[in-house]
Structure 1
Amino acid sequence: MAFDFNRRSLILSGAALSAMAGTSLLGGCESLLQKIQNRPTRRGTQSLSSTDPVWSVYRAAVSAMQARQAGDARNWTEQARIHLDHCPHGNWFFLPWHRAYLFYFEQICRELSGDDGFALPYWNWNQNRSIPAPFWSGVLNHPRSVNSSSTLPDSWVGDTVLNNILALTNFTQFASGPSTTQRGFSFSGSLEATPHNNVHGWTGGDMGTYWSPLDPIFWLHHCMIDCMWWHWNADLGNPNTNDPGWSNFTFSNNFVDGNGNPVDIQVISTVLMPLLSYRYEPCQIGGDTMLEMARRDVADARRLREFLEAGAEVPTRLDDSVVLDRGLVAMIGEPVRSELVIPAELARQALDGRAPHLVAELEGVRPPADESFFVRVFLNLPEANAQTSTDSPHYAGSFGFFEDPDAHAGHDAGRAFRVDLTPGLRRLSQAGRLGNAVAIQLVAVPMPGREPVAAPAMPIQAVRAGLLPAVRTRFDERE
């Protein structure tokens, strides 16, 4: 049985964890403690055989939703419509909103399948680069741009890129930028811009639109994104922001519970979900191994809850920010025709550790209508093109697009992306190819195996560079 997230339950959970750390259990907490200790486990697809019972339960739940009448809140299409109408992208509500979405969808799966212990699996695309076999037959199959043998590239989900994302300490660079409204455009951080967006675009079909939950693989893809957030918080000890504009924000009239009843939920409630309501099976993500929460002692679990609820002050502005150029256009396969030269002092500070992150911010990016290409970023390689290897020491990262004009009609100001240049800068320095100046090259690259069908041009309003301060608060340093 999963933990139910309402305000009273959250207060009781704090009391329960406190009681667990004492010498005795307080009356009324025993059943709550049992729920927490026995919460369902989301298992990685890499550890599941094609005949594992979890697939039968998931198929039964999907079939039951598809069979419900149109207009029923638990109907398969109506569940996808929630995403179309409400999903935030390109701002810091991206992670908590999708966590809540998964949480309530999982409740519906349990209710309609009759399996109270069901937990969604997660697709660990770092370890399993192809869409898992169960999604190529029966009710889990769906029209896509890829096939069962297609594989995701290292530059999106490989060890190096995920290690660099997990090494970030600033919540906004990890999780996307601040916004005062649920669907306001800020900027996409590293987790959203690279693995999240590119997996959506690569998969194609409905997965390339805001109707993406119509494809059953959507839910497992987002479980992996959620798993990385939890790993970043709980295992690596990084805090979320303590900005009340984030933690106190309420998602109103977005979701329904397992019985189809409307529910509202605050962002702060979502940060405790993996601690209280479900857990992730340990696995390898890049160079890290997830820890199993069941192995934590009670006092540690209580401290973790306090840490997650407290958050930390997170800088969002770039220090010493300078505009490198305005009014750029990227053409497919060619570097942007502009001298995007970073001031030497910014590069020097990033290399000597005074400012851990040298960040490039692209503003007013007009993405392609069909998401048939993504963007690679190189340093000091003016001849870079679509064929340039991402193994080159000049390669600094990439970002992709996840757009749906139908969901954001009238919003034509473009998107913003922040790219952490520091790992690439250090790699270039170690290879002895840094030189006296650092220039950025942006190359629009077609999706693997696909030809763009839209106009092969991507306008960019401005490119700037600056230093993003690190966040020093860590879970493993708290008493």
Structure 2
Amino acid sequence: MTDIPHLKTTRRSVLRGALAGSVALAAPALLSAQGTYAGIRKNVMAKDAQEDVDSYRAGVAEMLKLDPDHPHNWYRNAFIHLLDCPHGNWWFFVWHRPFLAYFEHKIRIHSKNPEFSLPYWDWSTEQRLPAAMFGSDNALDPTSSHFPADWASFAADYEDATRAYWESFDDAQLAQETIRGNTGFDMFWNGWGGSVQANFATPRSIGRTKTAQNPDLTDRALEFVQPEIVLGGLKPEIFVKPAPNDPSSAFNSPKAPNHHRGMRGSAVIEGQPHNQVHNNTGGIMPTLLSSIDPLFYLHHGNIDRLWDIWTRKQTKLGLSALPLPADAPAFNREPFLFFIDGDGNKVTQDTTAGDYMDIGRWGYSYTRATGEELVDAPPRALMVATNNASNVRTEAFSAFNAGIAGVALNEAFTNTLTAPMSQVRHIAHITFVPPENVQGLRFNFFMAPQGDTPQTAPDSPDLAGSFEFFGVVHSHSDPFTVSIDITEALNRLEATGTLVPGGELTFAMAAAEVDPSKRLDSAGAIAGQLISVDVEAI
């Protein structure tokens, strides 16, 4: 039997099991000239994706049946995300690409379809969960009979095997987990907000709150998957900001000291459609064990597709798609040490961020979908900023009181307000210190012209945008910068004639409880600080 190459340039004929009793994991594959499988990832809603959807269902079902100590077991694969995933920093895109690619390889093996390619869900055009993801006997539905009934039954089957998995970690892996906050197995299993138990949806019936009868995205998620929001997130012409609070737009989230506890902010793509789709789907999807839900991989397939579009847009414009030369060494050497290959072995070569930037090494591409028009005819970003740096002041905010900040509008920025929204997007970069516990909270941003105080009720006409964290319970004392598309809100004000060059916008920020059931008694006061607001036309 010929084995699938391990997404490398060599083929291997000897299969090695990571654990005693592991089985041969190989299957035939088509190869590109570079030695990797030449697959085309398709829109999950497309008719020609049906074979891949069927294989996906079969592969997930088989991975769920594997023994808990098998390196390809469904939950063992999901634990990689809990152990190692980055969010709110510049390693967000580059970590999830190999996670999906190695996973895609596992599905080829366990579905017995060597030509499987992972479908993606383009939520900008299909603003509901795919029908293929539902069913009481469908392994793509985490509420189905394929999944454990509750935490107790899961723990009975998995605790010992997971402990053995933890005890197999080498010193470098344990050092990474210490940075993350997992100082031992007990901490990882059920010791804090980042543990397995804290992120596990129980009972099974709440594994996903969207249903076949109510599959539509709603609320802020529906707003933030709109094509114009996504296109705005793809317009920036730099990979990452020179500094987290720099008053300009970047494609990626800000730089950070490491990928575990280095949350510094969220750019548009990560902070708006990515976070909101996770949270709006409900169940286990808002947690760091969202990788238990098969929908996770379709969602992140779309995120990866958008990164590929941005990269090709940059190339067509003759611009870099990489970190700045001064930043590249720190970015490239960040270690990713928990990926598992097709043989069930820990990946020991190509284990840093710099090894995973190029999509070409994986041998896949995407069919055309939302955003591709930016590659066909890439626009240049305006990058006209109104900098509030000279007027920064710290304002406390809570669930009851708003923090206030004023931004003076220069003439160059005001002149962009009459341009069509298809050509210009307006972004607010809002820096704040979150409350210590952010679970169940939404941070709302309101806007009014000079002389008016924004109304800060959640349904206020002055609402300009909002932000929700994904996957984190506890925050930190460091400032966090979120980029919010405020184009529609600014156009509403411009239409009233209240915005003039040299005038001022008044921003207000307040926290709101969107899911009080997640606010534990120990969560503490909902209090934070608004530090600054900058606005930009791109």
Q: TM-score, normalized by length of structure 2?
A: 0.66
CA pair 372-422 structure 1, distance change in 2 beyond 3 A? closer
Q: CA deviation at 1:78?
A: 1.1
The match for 2:476 is 412
Q: Identity rate of aligned residues, in percent?
A: 24
CA pair 419-399 structure 1, distance change in 2 beyond 3 A? same
Within the candidate set 402, 420, 434, 2:499 is matched to 434
CA pair 260-123 structure 1, distance change in 2 beyond 3 A? same
Q: How does 1:55-134 map to 2 (within 5 A)?
A: 55-134=53-132
Kept in 2, the 8 Å contact 1:374–1:399? The answer is yes
Q: Which moved more, 1:86-95 or 1:418-427?
A: 418-427
User: Residue type matched to 1:171 in 2?
Assistant: F
Q: CA deviation at 1:443?
A: 4.8
- State the distance in 1 between where 2:403 and 2:433 align: 16
The match for 1:26 is none
Question: What per-residue deviation string (whole Å, max 9, x for no partner) do you get for residues 60-119 of structure 1?
Answer: 211221112223221111111111111111100011001111111111111222222111
Kept in 2, the 8 Å contact 1:322–1:464? The answer is no
Q: Which moved more, 1:320-329 or 1:139-148?
A: 320-329
User: Residue type matched to 1:284 in 2?
Assistant: T
Within the candidate set 335, 339, 344, 1:260 is matched to 344
- State the distance in 2 between where 1:251 and 1:33 align: 29
The match for 2:333 is 249
Within the candidate set 357, 372, 375, 1:271 is matched to 357
- State the distance in 2 between where 1:342 and 1:291 align: 34
User: Residue type matched to 1:57 in 2?
Assistant: S
Q: CA deviation at 1:212?
A: 0.6
Within the candidate set 222, 243, 251, 2:300 is matched to 222
Q: CA deviation at 1:56?
A: 1.9
User: Number of residues paired by the alignment?
Assistant: 405
The match for 2:257 is 180
CA pair 457-318 structure 1, distance change in 2 beyond 3 A? farther
The match for 1:194 is 272
Kept in 1, the 8 Å contact 2:336–2:351? The answer is yes
Question: SS in structure 2 opposite 1:175?
Answer: coil
The match for 2:447 is 378
Q: What RMSD, in angstroms, separates the aligned Cα atoms of the two structures? A: 3.5
The match for 1:302 is none
Q: TM-score, normalized by length of structure 1?
A: 0.74
Kept in 2, the 8 Å contact 1:82–1:254? The answer is yes
- State the distance in 1 between where 2:534 and 2:476 align: 26
- State the distance in 2 between where 1:367 and 1:201 align: 19
- State the distance in 1 between where 2:537 and 2:239 align: 11
CA pair 367-373 structure 1, distance change in 2 beyond 3 A? farther
Kept in 1, the 8 Å contact 2:442–2:511? The answer is yes
1:44 aligned onto 2:43: yes
Structure having the larger proportion of residues in strand: 1
Within the candidate set 313, 330, 333, 1:235 is matched to 313
For structure 2, the 5+ residue unaligned runs are 11-30, 143-206, 241-249, 377-382, 417-423
CA pair 351-266 structure 1, distance change in 2 beyond 3 A? farther
- State the distance in 1 between where 2:272 and 2:6 align: 32
Kept in 2, the 8 Å contact 1:108–1:259? The answer is no
Q: CA deviation at 1:364?
A: 1.8
